[in-house]
Amino acid sequence: MEHPSNLLLILLVVLLIGRIFGEIANRLNIPAVMGEMLAGVVLGPSLLGWISPTETLRFLAEVGIILMLFKIGLETDLGKLVSSGSRSVAVALGGVLLPLIGGFLVAKFVMGANDLTALFVGGTLTATSIGITVRVLSDLGQTRTKAAQIVLGAAVIDDIIGVVMLAILVDFARFGEVRIGEAGKVILFIGMFLILAPLAAKAMAKVIHRVDRGRDGDGWIPVAIVTLVLFFAWLAEEVGAPHLVGGFAAGIALSRRFYVPMGIALHNDRAFVAAIEKQTQPIIHLFTPIFFVVVGLSLDLSAVHWGDWHIWGATAALLMVASIGKMAVPILTPGPVHERLLIGVAMLPRGEVGLIFAELGRTMEILSGPIYAILILVIALTTLIPPLILKKLVPPRPVNPEPLPPA
CATH topology of domain 35-393: Na+/H+ antiporter like fold (1.20.1530)
User: Above 50 in pLDDT, residue 261?
Assistant: no
**What is the per-residue DSSP string for 294-334?**
HHHHH--GGGS-TT-HHHHHHHHHHHHHHHHHHHHHHHHSS
- Number of Cβ within 10 Å of residue 390's Cβ equals 23
Binned at pLDDT 50, 70 and 90, residue 260 comes out as very low
User: How many residues are listed for the chain in this entry?
Assistant: 407
Work out the average pLDDT over 174-196: 70
Q: What CA–CA distances, in Å, run from 203 to 186, 194, 264?
A: 26, 15, 8
What does the alpha-carbon distance between residue 182 and residue 192 come to, in Å, rounded to a whole number?
16
Q: How confident is the model at residue 68 (pLDDT cuts 50, 70, 90)?
A: confident
Q: Residue 386 and residue 79: Cα distance in Å, rounded?
A: 28
Q: 136-145, 156-165, 170-179 — which is least confidently predicted?
A: 170-179
In which region does residue 52 sit, left (phi positive, over 0), alpha (psi from -120 to 50) or beta (all else)?
beta
CA distances from 106 to 211, 292, 327, 357 (A): 58, 29, 18, 17
pTM score: 0.71
Grouping H, G, I as helix, E, B as strand and the rest as coil, residue 39 is: helix
Confidence band, pLDDT 50/70/90 cuts, at residue 99: very high
Residues whose CB falls within 8 Å of the CB of residue 186, separated by 6 or more in sequence, listed in order = 163, 164, 167, 240
With cut-offs at 50, 70 and 90, classify the pLDDT of residue 82.
low
Distance, in Å, from the CA atom of 338 to the CA atom of 357, rounded to the nearest integer, reads: 31
Structure confidence by residue, pLDDT tens digits, 222-234: 888 888 888 888 8
pLDDT of residue 404: 44
Backbone angles phi, psi at 221, to 5 degrees: -60, -55
Query: What angle do helix axes 369-384 and 115-125 make, rounded to 10 degrees?
Result: 10
The CA distances from residue 76 to 178, 237, 251, 345, in Å, are 37, 22, 8, 20
Q: How far apart are CA 155 and CA 133, in angstroms?
A: 8
Amino acid letter at 284?
I
- Give the Å distances, CA to CA, from 245 to 35, 69, 83, 118: 26, 8, 19, 28
Contact 59, 241 (CB under 8 A): no
Name which of 73, 69, 85, 81 is nearest 202 in CA terms: 73
Residue 142 phi, psi (nearest 5): -115, 10
